[in-house]
């Protein structure tokens, strides 16, 4: 508690004890907790140091929260309580009923709470447990606005009944299923990623707004993950497993940069705590003793080009609304980059399964991304979080070579072309509740007098309602977007074969 120069201890007697950081003298304590606090965390507002949040997870899987708008005033009141064994003691029931403290006890996990932390950027508390169904949970601090008053009114009643725990509304939390649960996690506001590790020895990287699947898996540890840390300044992810193996990963391309095993550092005993210091670039590990690993950075004298993808890049688009660049590669990986800093923002993989992404386009709002793949499908994505909103199916599974978004008389359409040699038109509406959508019937002129070779590109002019397509044989056809009729054809004349010239000039 750096804002008031104190530290906290939790005990097996269901107490929270506060001590002066300068003298180590006991200041006060909170007793009568309903369960044993296993993990604690404290946060104070850097813009208002009096505002703070004290939270702890217990052995019943609950997340207990004390929101303190005025920390100095609250501690002064607790200090005035009657003394027990010479220490001012405030009961949790009395603390919960105080006007300047908001108390909430959330029933979150089905197993012990292993770790928890408040993230101001998300305005939420992140907690984890070893239960797979509630491996990681991102939830509101005190719930929806409408129930905040109910929390205070029912706090005393529920405490009297023996339990103050209640479940959050489904809209107030995001639950991540993680195989074998989560032992530790780390969050980065700069990269907007959540990194988790657990008993299955995998380091998972998540988009905190998408709980369906991780964006990346980091493999290589031979033991359960014990500690994770994201260093934004160094663009590194540090992971330490129970076998005391330290691995360093690149936060952008997720490649492994370094691995230090037990034979290298010779740290003996069972780990109890780990801490990384950004300023000294050292990792402190406590076992039977305290060990410090100093990390040295090797600087290259020459400049190396950054590898954005591990596979060939097929398409790239610029979003002027967010000033970001989107790239897609042969392995169906889509990445988003900040154009000003060049930093990697987020990514989502397996956009078209195992098929490559061959074309992309943004809609008129710039918030949705339309992709076409080698599998012949089109998909519409929520650009902000990488969620697939709809799948568009045309008549065949031939590769999509180009896709555009057009507006005709206030109606919006998605048009794609490809190896099927046809123009496929889809209505773009947000009112549809179906996840899959099929193309409109082909134009009559397209079926009778359309391209005879693979169509490679398509573009449109909304002002004149004209569409232009070009095929592999060099033919360009101008179409009417309103009627679907051919307006004209453009085809360069074939070059004449050169006449043979005799050596004698005759």
pLDDT tens-digit profile, the chain (506 residues): 888 899 999 999 999 999 999 999 999 999 999 999 999 999 999 888 889 999 999 999 999 999 999 999 999 999 999 999 999 999 999 998 888 899 999 999 999 999 999 999 999 999 999 999 999 999 999 876 544 445 445 544 444 444 568 998 988 999 999 999 999 999 999 899 999 999 999 999 999 999 999 999 999 999 999 999 999 988 999 999 999 999 999 998 899 988 888 777 778 889 999 999 988 889 999 998 998 988 776 554 444 556 788 888 889 999 988 888 999 998 888 998 888 777 788 888 888 988 999 999 999 888 899 999 999 999 999 877 788 999 999 988 899 999 999 998 888 999 999 999 999 999 988 777 778 899 999 999 999 999 999 999 999 998 899 999 999 989 999 999 989 999 999 987 776 665 544 555 54
Q: Which pLDDT belongs to residue 304? A: 52
Residue 293 CB neighbours (<10 A):
18
What percent helix, strand, coil does the chain show, rounded to 5?
10, 45, 45
Give the integer Cα–Cα distance in Å for 486 and 480: 6
486 Cβ neighbours under 8 A, 6+ residues apart: 445, 449, 477, 478, 479, 480
Are the beta carbons of 417 and 458 closer than 8 angstroms? yes
Distances (CA, A) of 4 to 17, 55, 170, 187, 329: 15, 16, 35, 25, 51
Strand order across the beta sheet in which 400-408 lies: 400-408, 411-418, 424-427
Return the pLDDT at 301: 42
Q: Which two tokens stand for residue 419?
A: 């190896």
* pLDDT the model gives residue 273: 93
DSSP characters for 321-341? TTTEEEEEETTS-EEEEETTT
Region for 98 from its dihedrals, namely left if φ exceeds 0, alpha if ψ lies in -120 to 50, beta otherwise: beta
**Rounded Cα gap, residues 504 and 252, in angstroms:** 67
* Cα-Cα-Cα-Cα dihedral sign, residues 76, 82, 83, 89: negative
Task: State residue 98's pLDDT score.
Answer: 87
Q: What is the CA radius of gyration of the chain?
A: 30
Q: How far is CA 277 from CA 231, 283, 292, 294, 352, in A?
A: 10, 6, 10, 10, 41
- Least Cα distance to 106 among 126, 121, 120 occurs for 126
- Could you give the count of Cα atoms lying within 13 Å of 123 in the half-sphere of its Cβ? 5
Q: What's the pLDDT score for residue 97? A: 87
For the beta sheet containing 225-231, the strands, ordered from the edge strand earlier in sequence to the opposite edge, are 225-231, 236-241, 246-250, 256-260
**pTM greater than 0.95 (yes/no):** no
- In this prediction, residue 152 carries a pLDDT of 47
């Amino acid at each position: 508690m750096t804002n008031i120069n104190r530290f906290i201890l939790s005990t097996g007697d269901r107490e929270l004890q506060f001590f002066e950081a300068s003298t180590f003298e006991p200041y006060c304590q909170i007793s009568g907790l309903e369960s044993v606090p296993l993990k604690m965390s404290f946060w104070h507002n850097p813009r208002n140091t009096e505002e703070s949040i004290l939270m702890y997870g217990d052995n019943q899987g609950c997340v207990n929260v004390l929101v303190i708008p005025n920390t100095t005033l609250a501690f002064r009141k607790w200090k005035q309580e009657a003394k027990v064994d010479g220490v001012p003691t405030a009961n949790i029931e009395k603390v919960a009923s105080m006007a300047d403290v908001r108390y909430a006890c959330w029933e979150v996990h089905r197993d012990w709470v292993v770790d928890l932390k408040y993230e101001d950027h998300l305005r939420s508390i992140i907690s984890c447990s070893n239960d797979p169904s509630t491996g990681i949970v991102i939830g509101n601090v005190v719930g929806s606005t409408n129930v905040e008053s109910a929390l205070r009114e029912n706090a005393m009643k529920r405490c009297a009944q023996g339990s103050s725990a209640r479940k959050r509304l489904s809209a107030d939390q995001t639950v991540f299923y993680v195989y074998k649960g989560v032992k530790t996690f780390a969050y980065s506001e700069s990269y907007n990623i959540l990194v988790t590790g657990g008993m299955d020895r995998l380091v998972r990287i998540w988009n905190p707004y998408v709980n369906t699947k991780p964006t990346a898996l980091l493999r290589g540890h031979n033991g359960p993950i014990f500690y994770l840390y994201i260093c934004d300044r160094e663009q590194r992810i540090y992971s330490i497993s129970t076998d005391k193996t330290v691995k360093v990963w690149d936060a952008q391309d997720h490649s492994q940069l370094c691995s230090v095993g037990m034979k290298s550092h010779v740290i003996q005993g069972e780990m109890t705590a780990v801490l990384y210091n950004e300023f000294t670039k050292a990792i402190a590990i406590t076992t039977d003793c305290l060990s410090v690993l100093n990390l040295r950075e090797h600087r290259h004298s020459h400049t190396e080009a950054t590898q954005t993808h591990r596979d060939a890049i097929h398409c790239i688009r610029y979003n002027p609304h967010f000033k970001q660049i989107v790239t897609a590669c042969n392995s169906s990986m889509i990445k988003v980059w900040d154009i000003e800093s060049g930093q990697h923002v987020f990514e989502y993989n397996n956009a078209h399964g195992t098929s490559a992404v061959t074309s992309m386009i943004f809609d008129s709002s710039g918030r949705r991304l339309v992709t076409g793949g080698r599998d012949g499908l089109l998909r519409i994505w929520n650009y902000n979080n990488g969620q697939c909103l709809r799948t568009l199916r045309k008549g065949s599974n031939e590769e999509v070579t180009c896709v555009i978004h057009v507006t005709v008389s206030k109606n919006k359409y998605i048009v794609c072309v490809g190896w099927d040699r046809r123009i496929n038109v889809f209505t773009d509406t947000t009112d549809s509740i179906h996840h899959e959508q099929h193309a409109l019937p082909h134009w009559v002129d397209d079926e009778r007098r359309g391209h005879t070779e693979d169509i490679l590109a398509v573009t449109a002019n909304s002002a004149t309602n004209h569409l232009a397509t070009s095929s592999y044989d060099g033919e360009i056809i101008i179409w009417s977007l309103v009627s679907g009729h051919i307006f004209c054809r453009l085809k360069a004349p074939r070059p004449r074969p050169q006449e043979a010239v005799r050596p004698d000039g005759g």
